[in-house]
Amino acid sequence: MHFDIKLLLDEMVNVVQYRGILYCMNLSQLINEFLEYLEIERNVSPLTIRNYGHYLNRFLDFLVSSPLAGPKEKLTVAAITSESIRQYRLYLSRFVDNHDISLKRVTQNYHLIAIRSFLKYCTKRDVITVSADKIDLPKAESRSIKFLEREQIDRLLNQPEISTNVGMRDKAILETLFSTGLRVSELVKLDRDQINLERKEFGVIGKGRRSRLVFLSDGAVEWISRYLKTRDDDLRPLFIRYSGKSPDEGDKNGESLRLSARSIERLVEKYVRKARLPIKISPHGIRHSFASDLLMNGADLRSIQEMLGHKNISTTQIYTHVTNPQLRAIHEKFHRKEPALS
- The catalytic site residues sit at 183, 207, 284, 287, 310, 319
DSSP state for residue 260 in the 8-state scheme: P
d(CA 115, CA 134): 11
Reported for 49-57, long-range contacts at CB under 8 A and 24+ positions apart, including other chains, are: 51/110, 51/114, 52/114, 52/117, 52/118, 55/110, 55/111, 55/114, 55/115, 56/31, 56/114, 56/115, 56/118, 57/31
Contact 268, 281 (CB under 8 A): yes
d(CA 41, CA 49): 12
SS3 of 201, please?
strand
Residues in Cβ contact with 107 at an 8 Å cutoff, skipping those fewer than 6 apart: none
Reported for 205-211, long-range contacts at CB under 8 A and 24+ positions apart, including other chains, are: 206/309, 207/45, 207/183, 207/309, 207/311, 208/45, 208/311, 209/43, 209/44, 209/45, 210/309, 210/311
d(CA 236, CA 123): 45
